């Protein structure tokens, strides 16, 4: 079983939010998942991405692949944190 870390959509039509989930690579985007490790809200003036770092590291260490969209968001978040510091 190959495992992916990707985003699962929820919310209403014009107010989408995303959950960061660990799931089987063959499951559909909004289907079954193994574990929820965070969320992403693009709508506020300052977008909000919250991820449990320890669980993300655990799954990556055990062979889970991070999706391209999530990689991009994580990189952007790290840049913002560096700019604040």
**Which numeric CATH code is attached to 3-84?**
3.30.1320.10
Query: What is the domain partition of the chain in residue ranges?
Result: 3-84
- Is pLDDT at 80 greater than 80 in this prediction? yes
CB crowding 2-27: b at 16 or more within 10 Å, else e: ebbbbbbeeeeeeeebbbbbbbeeee
Sequence-distant (6+) residues with CB within 8 A of 13 are: none
pLDDT single digits (tens) 5-57: 999 999 898 899 999 999 998 888 888 899 999 999 998 888 899 999 999 99
Token pair, residue 11, equals 């919310």
Work out the pLDDT band at 73, boundaries 50, 70, 90.
Answer: very high
């Amino acid at each position: 079983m190959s495992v992916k870390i990707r985003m699962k959509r929820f919310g209403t039509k014009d107010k989408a939010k995303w959950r960061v989930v660990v799931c089987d690579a063959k499951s559909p985007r909004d289907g079954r998942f193994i574990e929820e490790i965070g969320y992403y809200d693009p709508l506020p003036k300052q977008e909000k991405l919250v991820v449990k770092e320890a669980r993300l590291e655990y799954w990556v260490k055990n062979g889970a692949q991070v999706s391209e969209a999530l990689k991009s968001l994580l990189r952007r978040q790290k840049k913002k944190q560096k700019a604040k510091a």
